A = this chain, B = another copy of it.
C-alpha cells in the first residue's frame, strides 16, 4: 500500500493518496479543486489509475475536485449516504471500499457535520474534521451536533487501537499526524470531559462562519461542479 499526505496551503487541507501499487489502482481522499493538476500529475507519475474519490464530508472551507476527477478519469466518488447527492456510491458505517487489495473501512463519525465519515486503512485512520490533532471540528453549522461529535470521537475513533495513526483533514499549526493513543491522552477538547462538558465547550466557541461557507457547501453538494450541468 502507498499512503501519501498532500497539503493545500490556502485551506490548510490534507488530501490523501491511497494506492495498491501492484494493482495500479488509487484513491484520493478529500481532494481540493485548486490542486487537481498536482494530484492528477502525481497519480500519472506513479503509474496509477484513479479509480476512487472519497470524501470525509461535505466541506465548508474548500471546493472538492471530486466531480472534475470523475469527469477526467472515470473515478467513482464515495461519501456518506447523508452527504452530497452527486456522489456515485453512498457509504454506511462499516462499508468496505477496495482499492485493488487495499481495504478501506468507512466509519460513520457525524457531529462536525451530519455526514461525517472516517476511513480506516491499514493501521491509519483518516478522521476528516471529526478528530483533529489536539482538537476537533466545530459543530455549529451544517447540521453539526456536539453530542454526536463527542460520541464519534470517544466512542468510535477512540475504540481503535492506540497505535493507529491519526491523519486529519486539516491542521493549522504544521502538525501532520498523531495517534489515537496520543489524542486519548492529550486532546484538550475531550480529555477529562463529560459529554455535557464537551457540549458546553463546543456551544461556547462562538466562532465566525467559515469564509467560504456560502460558496463551498453548495458547490460540494454538486461534487465541486460549480455549474452542476457542466
A residues whose Cβ falls under 8 Å from a Cβ of B:
4-9, 15, 35, 38, 42, 45-46, 173-177, 182, 186
Report Cα–Cα, A44/B35, bound state, in Å.
35
Judge whether B4 and A7 touch: CB under 8 Å: no
B174 touches A8 (CB 8 A): yes
Docked CA distance A145–B15 (Å): 36
CB distance from A95 to the nearest CB of B (A): 28
User: A7 CB to closest chain B CB, in angstroms?
Assistant: 4
CA separation between A15 and B176, bound complex, in Å? 11
Q: Which residue of B lies closest to A172 (CB)?
A: B9
CB of A46 within 8 A of CB of B182, answer: yes
Q: Which of B7, B173, B174 contacts A174 (CB 8 A)?
A: B7
The answer on a CB contact under 8 Å between A6 and B174 is yes
- Chain B residue, CB-CB nearest to A176: B5
CA distance A177 to B16 in the complex (A): 12
B35 touches A174 (CB 8 A): yes
Are A176 and B174 neighbours in the complex by a CB distance under 8 Å?
A: no
- What residues of B have a CB within 8 angstroms of the CB of A8 in the complex? 174
Roughly how many angstroms separate A106 CA and B4 CA in the complex, as a whole number? 26
For A38, list chain B residues within 8 Å (CB).
Answer: 173-175
- Would you list 21 pairs from A and B whose C-beta atoms are within 8 A, ordered by A residue? A4-B176, A4-B177, A5-B176, A6-B174, A6-B175, A6-B176, A7-B7, A7-B174, A7-B176, A8-B174, A9-B9, A9-B174, A15-B174, A35-B174, A38-B174, A38-B175, A42-B175, A45-B182, A45-B186, A46-B182, A176-B176
